[in-house]
Structure 1
Amino acid sequence: MRTPRSTTSPATGGDVFALIRAGQATTRTEIGTLTGLSRTAVAARVTSLQASGLVVEREEGVSTGGRPPVKLSFHVQAGVVLSAAIGRSRTQLAICDLAGDVIVAEDVEQEIGTSPAELMPVIAQRLIALRESLGETAGRTVGIGISLPGTVDTERGCSLNSPMMSGWDGVPLQPFLADVTDAPVFVDNDANVMVLAERRGERRDFADMLLIKASTGLGAGLVSGGVLQRGALGAAGEIGHTKTAAAQGVVCRCGDVGCIEAVAGGWALVRNLQEQGREVTHIRDVITLALAGDAEARRMIRESGRQIGEVLSGAINLLNPEVVIVGGDMAQAYDTFVAGLRETLYGNAIAVATQQLQILPWTHGELSGVVGSATMALDHVLSVPAVDQLLAGAPRP
């Protein structure tokens, strides 16, 4: 959690809001204790936050004489954030409150290979319709969060390198959403936003976390020291195209040879079952078979976990996370997948790195992408600098 900046620089309204949003301060007295601000200064900042709609003050408990006790809280209904998790064949949309919780959601199916010029106008129309379905209760739109598979240029708001999304690289997405809202648009990698979704609630205290997204493709999201790590070019976590002996000579959909995704990704499992004459078209079909007890589907999912564990063990040695989160479509067959993952991850990683390592399923299930995209946007628009600008009446970043 963010703490006040220093004793020589008084805590701002944004600093005070950060304490209230995190639940670290619920009264004016607590704010004064944590920030060192005078009662007058605390009152001024709280009043400003109340006027912005971000903070509400409610009477709680029974008065024993004098003014009843009051509590300050983050007003999560003060607005909404729009969210879109764009995939190869399906896009998930949602309207979330300012805590990042989903209010309403829907899926949009699209043909594989659909271009941004074809899909983005549909996304814009559906987001408008979803927001309008809430009526006046929606409040103002504070931002839009979008996730994409592959490497993302977060500054330009576009795909940088995605073998899955042909025709999307280098195409900024914000212009397609100009008619939806004038609020800022933020774009990031799908696994990155999913790991942000996990850093909420009871998992907030995990400062070193690695999320593996095992779906049609493979990716990872990494939080180290409490900070999301994107890498120099945004390519941190692109484990799907790590070379492995198990894929020697096997052509990957990226055009290279020997990638782990070519033998352990969802699309590879679909390919293998199709070669056996099975009628499957997506990894979700394989999961359905496995959950129904199909021995071959279960074997393939466990083997996928085993092969991914071999690659992941090196990351465990390098990064020493507290927890590995398993997400993506294969998380629906969690027990089967993790049985294979544990076998090689614990077998290949050094003992000290796995001594206290936890492996857990994703918290938000299939909503992880939209919850994470909303969380990513909210981390920007509700940051200390952004709130300070809002309170000062300055343009939003």
Structure 2
Amino acid sequence: MVDARKSSWLTLQMRTSEVFHLLRDGQPWTRAQLCEASGLARSTVTSRLDVLVKLGVVAPYGDGTSTGGRPPSLYALNPSARVVGAVALGATHAVAAVTDLAGTILGQTRERLDVAQGPATVLSWVAETVERLLLEADRAPADLAAVGLGVPGPVEHSTGRPTNPPIMPGWDRYDVPGTLGERLGVPVLVDNDVNIMALGERSTYLPEVDDLIFVKVATGIGAGIISGGSLQRGAHGTAGDLGHVRVTSGSGVICRCGNEGCLEAIAGGPAIAARLRDAGVPAETTGDVVELVRGGNLEAVREVRQAGRELGEVVATMANLINPSVVVIGGLLGGAGEHLMAGLREVVYQRSMPLATEHLSIVASVAGDRAGILGASAMAAEHVLSPEAIESAAANLTVSAAP
């Protein structure tokens, strides 16, 4: 049964979120500016500002410039009103943070954590870490509004459940949002790790770019695709799974997925490390490969540059199909510097159509290992500040205040 008081209030105040949307840019606004931009009457804007200030998501910002008489009051988004948890899980490590609603990191930690330990162990660590970071940031548990979580595998976006993740035994169809949400008492948003890295890079460093591909090159290889300003997940969350695209030089090489010739089996960090070991160069992990390249080991440099060429074969196809304006290279192997980038650019510019590459930039990630938590933060904050969330919070505020 619908609460009559809430229904009545919503009928009168349906566009509180529209006023708030204007204030999302972080810039201070006067009432007159909000009236002009929204087309609402001054009294309506004032009442909706009052609601937003009571919710804490908007705060007075001082006074504007007077044109004669009393200076107008200014209002702006209050990013410190609430905080969100942001967690990026990798195959063998995890990064967690608490941020404000604008993505400012208030506390952060990075630890070795094997995702193959299973959801019970890993999610327990996530919950304990977010709670600890809240305490260290001097924020109350009630300040936590949501948690964003990235995992290294496909995710069904509508449910937040991992779907047949190849390196996450025990996680298939596991109710990650329900389990973690029950522990922390807030909504939990879950997505593929590369998708949230794409969100983090764009929201923080490339906000003006509407067509972008973020390629993570590490233990596995994947891409987050932003087209027309929106993240493209595909029908079942597998969009951008570059690691299992067949490449011409992969004949006879069996991938861990069971297929032959996958890009990951040729250009992924473990594959490069294995070839270096075969050549007598000690390299056990992707991190070892990166350190060898940074140290000037010629065999490692040669292998990484060739891996860039293999990657370039697939990225060239993506450039023709999706036509991004920027391709960002991140992940642990992306830290190997220009050697990977040189091989990739060589093939992309050779194999793509001239119109697709005329204004294409291929760059290294600026966010680096923070891309995941920045994206997880952006995903969680977007949920907290969505029109639906603002309208619901405003309705609850008014109903609870009614006699």
TM-score by length of 2: 0.90
- Tell me if the contact between 2:28 and 2:74 (Cα under 8 Å) persists in the aligned partners: no
Structure 2 equivalent of residue 269 of structure 1 = 272
Give the secondary structure class of the aligned counterpart of 2:226. Answer: strand
Distance between the aligned counterparts of 2:71 and 2:288, measured in 1? 58
- Tell me if the contact between 1:78 and 1:139 (Cα under 8 Å) persists in the aligned partners: no
Residue 304 of structure 2 is aligned to residue 294 of structure 1: no
**Aligned-residue offset at 1:274:** 2.5
- Tell me if the contact between 1:11 and 1:37 (Cα under 8 Å) persists in the aligned partners: no
Structure 1 equivalent of residue 44 of structure 2 = 41
Structure 2 equivalent of residue 109 of structure 1 = 112
Distance between the aligned counterparts of 1:191 and 1:171, measured in 2? 20
Give the secondary structure class of the aligned counterpart of 1:83. Answer: strand
Give the secondary structure class of the aligned counterpart of 1:76. Answer: coil
Residue 244 of structure 2 is aligned to residue 237 of structure 1: no
Q: Judging changes above 3 Å, is the alpha-carbon distance between structure 1 residues 106 and 384 closer, same or farther for their aligned structure 2 residues? A: same
Residue 216 of structure 2 is aligned to residue 213 of structure 1: yes
**Aligned-residue offset at 1:320:** 0.7
**Aligned-residue offset at 1:134:** 1.8
Pairing of 1:20-35 with structure 2 (within 5 A): 20-23=23-26, 26-35=29-38
Distance between the aligned counterparts of 2:284 and 2:77, measured in 1? 45
Structure 1 equivalent of residue 59 of structure 2 = 56
Structure 2 equivalent of residue 252 of structure 1 = 255
Distance between the aligned counterparts of 2:19 and 2:240, measured in 1? 34
Distance between the aligned counterparts of 2:262 and 2:305, measured in 1? 18
Unpaired runs of 5+ residues, structure 2, are: 1-11, 398-403
Q: Could you tell me which amino acid in structure 2 is paired with residue 213 of structure 1?
A: K
Q: Judging changes above 3 Å, is the alpha-carbon distance between structure 1 residues 11 and 353 closer, same or farther for their aligned structure 2 residues? A: farther
Structure 2 equivalent of residue 81 of structure 1 = 84
Residue 354 of structure 2 is aligned to residue 351 of structure 1: yes
Q: Could you tell me which amino acid in structure 2 is paired with residue 297 of structure 1?
A: A
Distance between the aligned counterparts of 2:123 and 2:278, measured in 1? 34
Distance between the aligned counterparts of 1:64 and 1:227, measured in 2? 41
- Tell me if the contact between 1:191 and 1:213 (Cα under 8 Å) persists in the aligned partners: yes
Question: What is the aligned length?
Answer: 387
Moved more, 128-137 or 206-215: 128-137
- Tell me if the contact between 2:27 and 2:77 (Cα under 8 Å) persists in the aligned partners: no
- Tell me if the contact between 1:115 and 1:168 (Cα under 8 Å) persists in the aligned partners: yes
Moved more, 66-75 or 50-59: 66-75
Distance between the aligned counterparts of 1:72 and 1:313, measured in 2? 46
Distance between the aligned counterparts of 1:341 and 1:52, measured in 2? 49
**Aligned-residue offset at 1:158:** 1.9
Distance between the aligned counterparts of 1:134 and 1:202, measured in 2? 25
Structure 1 equivalent of residue 376 of structure 2 = 373
Distance between the aligned counterparts of 1:133 and 1:11, measured in 2? 38
Pairing of 1:320-339 with structure 2 (within 5 A): 320-339=323-342
Structure 2 equivalent of residue 191 of structure 1 = 194
Q: Judging changes above 3 Å, is the alpha-carbon distance between structure 1 residues 31 and 132 closer, same or farther for their aligned structure 2 residues? A: same
Structure 2 equivalent of residue 281 of structure 1 = 284
% identical equivalent positions: 36
**Aligned-residue offset at 1:324:** 0.8
Q: Which string of whole-angstrom CA distances, capped at 9 and with x for unpartnered residues, describes residues 238-280 of structure 1?
A: 0110011111110112222110110011121122222234333
Q: Which string of whole-angstrom CA distances, capped at 9 and with x for unpartnered residues, describes residues 205-260 of structure 1?
A: 21111111111110001111111110011110001100111111101122221101
Q: Judging changes above 3 Å, is the alpha-carbon distance between structure 1 residues 274 and 167 closer, same or farther for their aligned structure 2 residues? A: farther
Q: Could you tell me which amino acid in structure 2 is paired with residue 228 of structure 1?
A: L
Structure 2 equivalent of residue 4 of structure 1 = none
Residue 121 of structure 2 is aligned to residue 128 of structure 1: no
Distance between the aligned counterparts of 1:201 and 1:124, measured in 2? 25
Residue 159 of structure 2 is aligned to residue 165 of structure 1: no
Residue 321 of structure 2 is aligned to residue 312 of structure 1: no
Give the secondary structure class of the aligned counterpart of 1:222. Answer: strand
TM-score by length of 1: 0.92
Q: Judging changes above 3 Å, is the alpha-carbon distance between structure 1 residues 112 and 142 closer, same or farther for their aligned structure 2 residues? A: closer
CA RMSD, Structure 1 to Structure 2 (Å):
2.2
- Tell me if the contact between 1:86 and 1:147 (Cα under 8 Å) persists in the aligned partners: yes
Structure 2 equivalent of residue 200 of structure 1 = 203
Q: Which string of whole-angstrom CA distances, capped at 9 and with x for unpartnered residues, describes residues 116-145 of structure 1?
A: 122221221122111111224776111011
Unpaired runs of 5+ residues, structure 1, are: 1-8
Q: Judging changes above 3 Å, is the alpha-carbon distance between structure 1 residues 66 and 124 closer, same or farther for their aligned structure 2 residues? A: same
Structure 2 equivalent of residue 5 of structure 1 = none
- Tell me if the contact between 2:30 and 2:64 (Cα under 8 Å) persists in the aligned partners: no
